[in-house]
Structure 1
């Protein structure tokens, strides 16, 4: 859900102005009637929830965990594992 929220915020930045507000049920009688109708329906086959499996996500994701390389205690280990380079100091090697 956070991906959808992020996508919504990105789209909202393209507008000069916008307003988001919750409509009380008392002011939205059609939606209230529909929700009440759905909650009281009793049929022989029961309620069904259809599930759609998407072949691709409906939002695009960005890199969440960006790794910034800095010279740390792991640098010599990384250098050895990636290209076999050992430190010049024999005791560190």
Structure 2
């Protein structure tokens, strides 16, 4: 059993949190190489919307539904099931722990800090950064574009194998860690300031800072 915590650092209704949880499961399923997924939730409304038994009237719910359906293309077979709350106790326990203050300090589970909703239209870490180190990788992964120089072509092809694009965001693949969001130089500077001096903790050494960066799921080449 793989237990994985995600702590949402933004306001969310119960239904929005349910969608965020399902999106996380889809992302983790893809990261683990799964082709068939069976996703359970005790939310009758959310599962009903996904299975088109209920209509999604709210704008946010429509956006979540559209994003979720886009990610389902990554799988050969995908099933959703609504289960009674009494059968979802393990997931509920992990959810409560992730939501608590002590959840971020416990080491039994992997913990991911999510600061923005997946449906946020203007993403701070979108892959469309101009003249970023990400640009040639994104160009290759999205459109197959490669430079004319043979050496650069081999370099990009080899490097791009360690990355993937999910929801228009570039991620670095990891075998023993969650996918890491790729950021440019300016964003990396902000993240370092937050972790080293700001709200994420007190002053720390380089190795400790890098470890915290990875735990908060970010990556850049000079890290």
Judge same fold: TM > 0.5, yes or no.
Answer: no
TM-score (norm 2): 0.17
Whose Rg is larger? 1
Looking at secondary structure, tell me which structure has more helix per residue.
2
